[in-house]
Amino acid sequence: MHTFEIREKFYLDGEPFTILSGSIHYFRVHPTDWHHSLYNLKAMGFNTVETYVPWNLHEPKPGEFNFQGMCDLAAFLDEAAELGLWAIVRPSPFICAEWEWGGFPAWLLEDRSMRPRSRDPKFLARVASYYDALMPILVERQITRGGNIIMMQVENEYGSYCEDKDYLRAIRDLMLERGVNVPLCTSDGPWRGCLRAGTLIDDDVFVTGNFGSRSAENFKNLKAFHEEHGKNWPLMCMEFWDGWFNRWAENVIRRDAQDLADCVRELFELGGSINLYMFHGGTSFGFMNGCSARHTHDLPQLTSYDYDAVLNEEGNPTEKWYKLRDVVRDLFPHAWTAEPLVKEATSQEGIALDARAGLFENLDALDPEPVRSFYPQPMEAMGQGYGYTLYRTSIERDVAPEAEERIRVIDGRDRAQVFVNGTLVAAQYQEHIGEDIRCTLPEEQCRLDILMENMGRVNYGHKFLADTQRKGIRTGVCVDLHFVTGWEAWRLPLEDISRIDFNAGWQSGQPSFSHFTFNLDEPTDTYVDSTGFGKGVVFVNGVNIGRFWEKGPIYTLYVPHGITHAGTNELVVFETEGTVSDTISLRSEPLIKQLDKEGVE
């Protein structure tokens, strides 16, 4: 049986050991590609894989756990072990990771008396229940049990959020009580304020830092903090940022490959260990993209988590891979290296529309039991966490037929589209929701529909627990000066679109589902080109592959070969703006456009 220790150095089986690790989030890579990504990590000369564990995927509803398919953490770790890779697992309740609400399940928001990510006993009880299901998978794969897990994380960048040591100790104790006995760690910004607030250094929990350059300066600060507390520990960067994530209407962020290689070389020459964040970024499939918190309004992130990482979104090596392998070969000549695995993607032009159906015509098919309430309810209060909600009521005209009525959505998130008798009268994003919507009412009694979209909850920062993370309409809707009552709400997480009736009809300018089919000789990677469509999500063979938006900068959605099959494949585009095309194309590589300062091509 192998051993792993943290003293003045890392020791594996009693010998000094440098951790050469790369981040691969199993939940962002299709299981049919896990071997491809892990092999390419090993072939670059690295010896360890690191992953977060997303609570919201593993416990989608309270007490209902999922460890199958994309969530099969055990299979991912076993694949890594078979390739000879060690593993660092970060199973903290909060993961950040540019992931929806930092990995917390949305159903936690139903209890307004609970304070997540704190010492609140009600929250810790929920974590304990989750760990009862999760920890047996990890415990039996620890190096102390003959497995490949050498280290686990207690909390993630907690020093950038709070300084509640009792909470940190409670999470640690929940892990220990369930059999975790490999070294534990925390990771924080490498300056004293973050390290003091976010670590358990006095409890002998190993302290690491997160940064992407200036290793000498950052390691100096980290070492000083270690020494301040009487520790002579090795130096490790738990997240060495080799790229960055992207948001809508902002240009894709790139990092020069040689600059990265030089900075990684500097870290190794200082005697440090590394975890590259990300080695393979992958894709935030479905509605799982995170959101950056800002003072006035939040900035949702893209579906693509390419991250300008060492492997691209598809999992193929970039220039960074080859330059980093050169560094490894130079500084670690005994490390095993090899040529990488490379996949090919397919393309098809001008796939013709089969059918189109309206959202309004399919509400009851998608949610046969709409919620009826006096005032509109937020999404979470109706048992929904993600996607869209359609609110409906009837309003009476109180002004002359030619005069404009005043409508306001009070306290809603994140995006509202307001329809009167099926005609769009306004679309408002966060910073505009609540402003006057003025329109004429065509009849004495009119139907008012409001489609609300959750565009992603914040995954980092001071707004993590703000009420803005509850989505939908939270207070109500005013016509003139009074709140309107008597509402129906259709919950639209779009988890199952098989019940859509494509013969139900569709009205131009309204949200719709466009149905296409394409044929393949064998399963293959591809990219769906969203050009010609406004905003929405795409499904391939019933799987939500993520969001698109004509604001860019990326106009394609990656489809892994594991979602496709030989023969006829189904592609459905849900589009909310009424901007649709009668053809769609598949591409062999992503379509990325440079935007100007105003976010225009």
Q: Widest CA span of the chain, in angstroms? A: 86
Say if residues 288 and 99 touch (Cβ distance below 8 Å): yes
CA distance 358 to 507: 7
Alpha helices (H) in 140-180, listed in sequence order = 165-177
Give rounded-to-5 percent helix, strand, coil for the chain: 25, 30, 45
- Dihedral angle, C-alpha 105, 108, 114, 116, nearest 10 °: 10
CA distance 240 to 20: 11
Nearest C-alpha neighbor of 156 from the set 189, 121, 131, 123: 189
Q: What one-character-per-residue DSSP string does 174-218 give?
A: HHHHTT--S-EEEEE-SSHHHHHHH--GGGT-EEEEEESS-HHHH
Element (H, E) at 366: helix 363-366
Q: Per the structure block, which two tokens stand in for 60?
A: 């989608």
CA distance 129 to 181: 19
Question: How many Cα atoms are found within 13 Å in the side-chain-facing hemisphere of 395?
Answer: 28
CA distance 310 to 340: 12
Phi-psi bin for 579: left (phi > 0), alpha (psi -120 to 50), beta?
Answer: beta
Three-state DSSP state, 362: helix
Say if residues 170 and 211 touch (Cβ distance below 8 Å): no
- What's the length of the chain? 601
For 362-454, strand residue ranges (E) read 371-373, 388-396, 405-413, 415-420, 423-429, 437-439, 445-453
CA distance 241 to 123: 31
Distance of CA 291 to the CA centre of its chain: 9
CA distance 521 to 135: 42
Active site amino acids: 157, 239
Q: What one-character-per-residue DSSP string does 502-540 give?
A: TTS---TTS-EEEEEEEEESS--BEEEE-TT--EEEEEE
CA distance 389 to 380: 11
Nearest C-alpha neighbor of 212 from the set 287, 278, 132: 278
Say if residues 73 and 137 touch (Cβ distance below 8 Å): yes
- Residues 6 or more apart whose CB falls under 8 angstroms from that of 125 comprise none
Which residues on neighbouring strands pair with residue 415, listed in sequence order?
A: 429, 453
